[in-house]
């Protein structure tokens, strides 16, 4: 019965209660009484909508041909890594003693790698930073789980600004804490500071800030960040506790029209930055990123050690050594990201022309399109009939919208336009 009790505690919802109870009884009938941690089985079994769309697309492609599917469901970069990535990897492999190259690094990462990250942070953002503030991670997801487990305790709350990346909920709930959703405004999907204030209480441990944003493409302004920082400073003092900003920044370099992404540690000292090279260097499968704990955070060294301890408890021995050595030499380098801006311009202008309502994204590689039908699920279903795969906003904690990932090839985007137009016509919005 242990998994059952745990499950109830972790979910605390009647609907899940029933599902768990049913599954539990099913397992009871088939095997011994207690097989596995049911919560984990559910996490591993529940196919995300994104994954379902992907499978639908594959099946459709087999039936009607690749050309008839326009898959805008996944945030998988289509632009290859810069050619220097292959050159540096090859050179590292040919010129380094394999026992050293592939050997353990320290748990925090190789010192020279952490120094290169710190130098980049100092030079780009004018922010105090050295190697002792940098913990190399197995991508941004590992950075987030290590940071969350470090600063969040069971029964606390973590604020997320909806719409938000769905895995935040999984990662937060794994710490035993609860997700507190605060909707952004629906004009440009920037945060509402009064709404954040209303959500803060003595249980608030952290707020996740993801700018440039997945799924909306919003890039928070300096003014946004300043206001959030002022609010948090005030509430921390009143509540006599630290509330962290966990800044999830895999899209940092993907900004358009000369916008700047404020580096949050420069505005709020209790900030933990989670970074990944997945999008900037087009290396999403290689899992390499870092945590940067602001040296100005309260008890910064203890916070850093807690991040390391959490990483250890989660099973992260070190970030992949070869990839560490690679990014040491790729600081500030990016893939040719201009194609994403061009994709945005093409789609934004076409979709607007066809009568869709889209807030112009300021960064990342997503359009968050308002559903012309009553609900986004039916919009997504209608689009599927044209071979267009769009993720309903429900997955991101905001209904009435779909997410369109335009990190696709130009060819797919160009060929999709007539279908978007036909869909607009069917839905009666074509101007």
User: Contacts with a copy of itself in 29-88 (CB under 8 A)?
Assistant: 30-45, 74, 76-81, 85-86
Q: Where are the alpha helices (DSSP H) in 273-319?
A: 300-314
Q: Which of residues 91-130 bind a copy of itself (CB under 8 A)?
A: 93-94, 97-99, 101-105
Residue with tokens 């800044």: 247
Only one of the segments 170-178, 246-254, 386-394, 398-406 lies at the binding site for a copy of itself (rule: CB under 8 A); that segment is 170-178
Say how far apart CA 318 and CA 59 lie, in whole Å. Answer: 38
Q: Which of 312, 345, 414, 418 binds a copy of itself (CB under 8 A)?
A: 312
**Structure token digits, residue 65:** 């041909």
Q: Is residue 291 part of the contact set for a copy of itself (CB under 8 A)?
A: no
- DSSP letter assigned to residue 286: G
Tell me which residue has tokens 């807030």: 359
Among 117, 144, 182, 339, binds a copy of itself (CB under 8 A): 144
Per the CB < 8 A criterion, the answer to whether 226 and 193 are in contact is no
Give 376 or 407: the residue with its C-beta nearer to a copy of itself.
407
> Cα separation of 235 and 97, whole Å?
53
DSSP reduced 3-state for 289: strand
Inter-residue contact 344 to 365 (CB < 8 Å): yes
Q: Residues 8, 21, 61, 89: which binds a copy of itself (CB under 8 A)?
A: 89
275 in Cβ contact with 249 (< 8 Å): yes
- Which of 53, 129, 156, 254 is the binder for a copy of itself (CB under 8 A)? 156
Positions 201 through 220 that interact with a copy of itself (CB under 8 A): 203, 205
CB of 74 to a copy of itself, least distance (A): 8
Answer yes or no whether residue 275 interacts with a copy of itself by CB under 8 A: no
User: Which is closer to a copy of itself, CB of 236 or CB of 376?
Assistant: 236
190 or 269: whose CB is closer to a copy of itself?
269
Q: Which residue of 24, 241, 296, 370 would you call a contact of a copy of itself, by CB under 8 A?
A: 241
Q: Is the peptide bond before 215 cis (omega within 30 degrees of 0)?
A: yes
Stretch that binds a copy of itself, among 120-128, 224-232, 306-314, 348-356 (CB under 8 A): 306-314
> 209: helix, coil or strand?
strand
- Three-state DSSP state, 130: coil
């Amino acid at each position: 019965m242990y998994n059952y009790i745990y499950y109830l505690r972790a979910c605390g919802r009647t609907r899940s209660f029933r599902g768990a109870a049913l599954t539990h009884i099913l397992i009871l009938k088939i095997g011994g009484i207690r097989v596995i941690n049911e919560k984990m089985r559910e996490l591993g079994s529940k196919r995300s909508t994104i994954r379902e769309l992907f499978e639908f697309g594959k099946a459709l492609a087999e039936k009607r041909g690749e050309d008839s599917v326009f898959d805008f469901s996944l945030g998988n970069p289509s632009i290859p890594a810069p050619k220097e990535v292959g050159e540096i990897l090859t050179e590292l492999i040919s010129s380094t003693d394999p026992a050293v190259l592939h050997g353990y690094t320290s748990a925090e990462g190789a010192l020279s790698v952490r120094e290169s990250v710190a130098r980049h942070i100092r030079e780009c953002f004018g922010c105090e930073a050295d190697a002792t503030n940098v913990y190399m991670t197995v991508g941004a997801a590992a950075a987030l789980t290590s940071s969350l487990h470090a600063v969040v305790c069971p029964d606390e709350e973590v604020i997320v600004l909806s719409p938000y990346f769905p895995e935040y909920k999984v990662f937060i709930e794994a710490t035993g804490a609860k997700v507190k959703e605060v909707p952004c405004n629906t004009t440009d999907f920037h945060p509402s500071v009064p709404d954040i204030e209303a959500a803060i209480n003595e249980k608030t441990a952290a707020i996740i800030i993801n700018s440039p944003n997945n799924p909306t493409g919003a890039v928070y302004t300096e003014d946004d960040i300043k206001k959030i920082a002022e609010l948090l400073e005030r509430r921390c003092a009143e509540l006599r506790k630290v509330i962290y900003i966990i800044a999830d920044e895999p899209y940092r370099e993907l900004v358009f029209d000369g916008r700047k992404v404020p580096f949050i540690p420069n505005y709020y000292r209790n900030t933990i930055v989670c970074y990944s090279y997945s999008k900037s260097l087009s290396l999403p499968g290689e899992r390499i990123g870092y945590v940067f704990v602001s040296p100005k955070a309260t008890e910064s060294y203890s916070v850093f050690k807690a991040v390391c301890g959490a990483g250890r408890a989660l099973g992260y021995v070190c970030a992949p050594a070869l990839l560490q050595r690679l990014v040491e030499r790729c600081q500030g380098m990016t893939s040719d990201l201009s194609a994403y801006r061009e994709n945005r311009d093409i789609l934004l202008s076409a979709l607007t022309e066809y009568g869709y309502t889209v807030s112009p994204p300021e960064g990342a590689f997503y359009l968050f399109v308002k559903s012309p039908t009553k609900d986004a699920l039916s919009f997504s279903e209608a689009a599927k009939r044209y071979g267009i795969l769009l993720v309903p906003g429900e997955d991101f904690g905001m209904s009435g919208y779909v997410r369109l990932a335009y990190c696709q090839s130009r060819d797919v985007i160009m060929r999709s336009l007539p279908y978007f137009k036909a869909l607009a016509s069917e839905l009666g919005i074509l101007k």
